[in-house]
């Protein structure tokens, strides 16, 4: 049997800000922390609807209003919310 040796790398220590995020589920900007999957689901609710009133030929576009989280994501990406 091989003799086990001491670990070469010390276990990681969580930073105070990471501990606070884990405890409160809110980041430093005051936005709720969520998984990537839930973030994608949230971003999927931002839509652009091409509309046409009954009996009229004119078309218009109706956008949903972004939530605070959606607006922050697009701001961080440096991308326009609606193009």
Q: How buried is 52 (Cβ within 10 angstroms: 0-12 exposed, 13-18 middle, 19+ buried)? A: exposed
Round the average pLDDT of the chain to a whole number and report it: 87
C-alpha 8/C-alpha 5 separation (Å) is 9
Encoding tokens for residue 64? 């949903």
Of 51 and 31, which is predicted with more confidence?
A: 51
Q: How confident is the model at residue 29 (pLDDT cuts 50, 70, 90)?
A: confident
50: helix, coil or strand?
A: strand
| Stretch 7-23: mean pLDDT | 86
Position 39 pLDDT exceeds 70: yes
- What residue segments make up the domains of the chain, in order of their start? 16-77
According to DSSP, the residues that pair with 21 across neighbouring strands are none
> What is the predicted pLDDT for the residue at 1?
65
CA nearest 70: which of 33, 37, 52, 44? 44
pTM for the full model? 0.60
């Amino acid at each position: 049997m091989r003799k086990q040796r001491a670990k070469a790398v010390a276990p990681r220590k969580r930073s105070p800000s990471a501990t606070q995020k884990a405890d409160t589920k809110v980041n430093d900007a005051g936005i709720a922390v969520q998984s990537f999957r839930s973030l994608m689901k949230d971003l999927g609710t931002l839509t652009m609807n091409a509309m046409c009133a009954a009996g009229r030929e004119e078309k218009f576009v109706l956008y949903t209003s972004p939530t605070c989280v959606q607006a922050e994501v697009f701001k961080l990406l440096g991308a326009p919310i609606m193009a």
